[in-house]
């Protein structure tokens, strides 16, 4: 059952066609990975779905309702959350203060269980900018998950993480989505991590969909092998 859908989405930046006619359908409890080389349009895709970038064509629906014209703020309040490619945790607030502020704004009733799941309890009273980078990325994930969103759009949550942190991060994403019935879109640079973690995968190249489907299907797609995975596949 699709809860969140983008159909025929295109985004332009002046003369640059950053995204052309891209479709996606997200289902509760499933993680849909989006991979593609740098500049493929992955972040733009999240910007279009979250309302940050204006789409020049296409429709975004949530529970069947057309929300294409809704603001990012409206989407966040109604259960469509996102994270950013770079950490948004950088300030002089404590982790607790930052999480509680967002919890208040988005009506989170069980912050403690989120903190527990993500292993953030020991750093709650530390200043955000002073905790380890890997932990900052977990705070980023927590910020996106506050308020029980139905959809999360995650832009490279593993960027800058070392291998074991990256593995743990992807496990958290998958477990939390299953437990909370969240529909996730996961943009990630770590291709093997995506194949391991995701239920569906879309490959973008030059702003267009090269392939989309179940991991095994995508991995063996000749166009993907040729253009992207190369001999590593
Ligand atoms: N704000 C912007 N203004 C102009 N061009 C942009 C902007 N954001 C992205 N682009 C261009 O759109 C294309 C897709 O970029 P992006 O979505 O960031 O790719 P990815 O996240 O896959 O690396 C690139 O050619 C990039 O230079
Ligand atoms: Mg990007």
CA of 155 to the centre of ligand 2 (A): 7
The rounded Å distance from CA 153 to ligand 2 centre is 12
For ligand 1, whether the C-beta of 44 sits within 6 Å is yes
Whole-number Å distance, alpha carbon 171 to ligand 2 midpoint, is 21
Sequence spans of domains, the chain: 4-232
Q: How confident is the model at residue 229 (pLDDT cuts 50, 70, 90)?
A: low
Instruction: Please work out whether the CB of residue 133 comes within 6 Å of at least one atom of ligand 1.
Output: no
Closest C-alpha to 17, from 172, 145, 207: 207
Nearest to 50 by CA among 29, 66, 27, 74: 74
Q: What CATH number has the domain spanning 4-232?
A: 3.40.50.300
For the Cβ of 36 lying below 6 angstroms from any atom of ligand 1, the answer is: yes
* Dist. CA 213–CA 211, nearest whole Å: 7
The pair of three-digit structure tokens given for residue 150, joined into one six-digit string: 């139905």
Closest to 6 (Cα-Cα) out of 27, 22, 30: 22
In three-state secondary structure terms, 110 is coil
CA-CA-CA-CA dihedral for 205, 209, 214, 218, to nearest 10 = -40
pLDDT tens figures, 138-173: 999 999 999 999 999 999 999 999 999 999 999 999
Q: How confident is the model at residue 90, as a pLDDT? A: 67
Q: Is the dihedral of CA 117, 171, 84, 213 positive or negative?
A: negative
pLDDT, tens digit, 9 for 90 and up, residues 7-66: 999 999 999 999 999 999 999 999 999 999 999 999 999 999 999 999 999 999 999 999
54: left (phi over 0), alpha (psi -120 to 50) or beta: beta
**Residues whose CB is less than 8 angstroms from the CB of residue 102 and which lie 6 or more positions away in sequence, other chains included:** 108, 143, 146, 147
- Give the tens place of pLDDT for each residue, 56-108: 999 999 999 999 999 999 999 999 999 988 877 768 899 999 999 999 988 88
Spatial distance between the Cα atoms of 9 and 208, rounded to a whole number of angstroms: 10
- For a ligand 1 pocket test, name from 10, 37, 41, 185 the mutation site with the most ligand atoms within 8 angstroms of its C-beta: 41
């Amino acid at each position: 059952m699709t809860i969140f859908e983008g159909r025929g989405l295109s985004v332009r930046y002046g003369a640059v066609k950053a995204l052309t006619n891209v479709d996606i359908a997200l289902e509760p409890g499933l993680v849909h990975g989006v991979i593609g080389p740098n500049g493929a349009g992955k972040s733009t895709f999240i910007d279009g779905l979250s309302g940050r970038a204006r789409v020049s064509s296409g429709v975004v629906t949530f529970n069947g309702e057309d929300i294409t014209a809704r603001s990012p703020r409206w989407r966040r309040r109604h259960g469509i959350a996102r994270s950013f490619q770079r950490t948004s945790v950088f300030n002089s607030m404590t982790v607790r203060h930052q999480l509680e502020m967002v919890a208040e704004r988005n009506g989170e009733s069980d912050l403690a269980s989120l903190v527990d799941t993500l292993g953030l309890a020991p750093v709650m009273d530390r200043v955000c900018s002073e905790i380890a980078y890997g932990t900052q990325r977990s705070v980023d994930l927590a910020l996106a998950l506050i308020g029980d969103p139905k959809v999360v759009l995650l832009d490279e949550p593993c960027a800058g993480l070392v291998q074991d942190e990256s593995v743990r991060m992807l496990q958290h994403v998958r477990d939390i989505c299953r437990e909370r019935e969240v529909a996730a879109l996961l943009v990630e640079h770590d291709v093997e991590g995506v194949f391991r973690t995701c239920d569906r995968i879309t490959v973008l190249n030059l702003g267009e969909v090269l392939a989309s489907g179940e991991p095994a299907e995508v991995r063996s797609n000749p166009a993907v092998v040729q253009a992207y995975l190369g001999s590593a596949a």
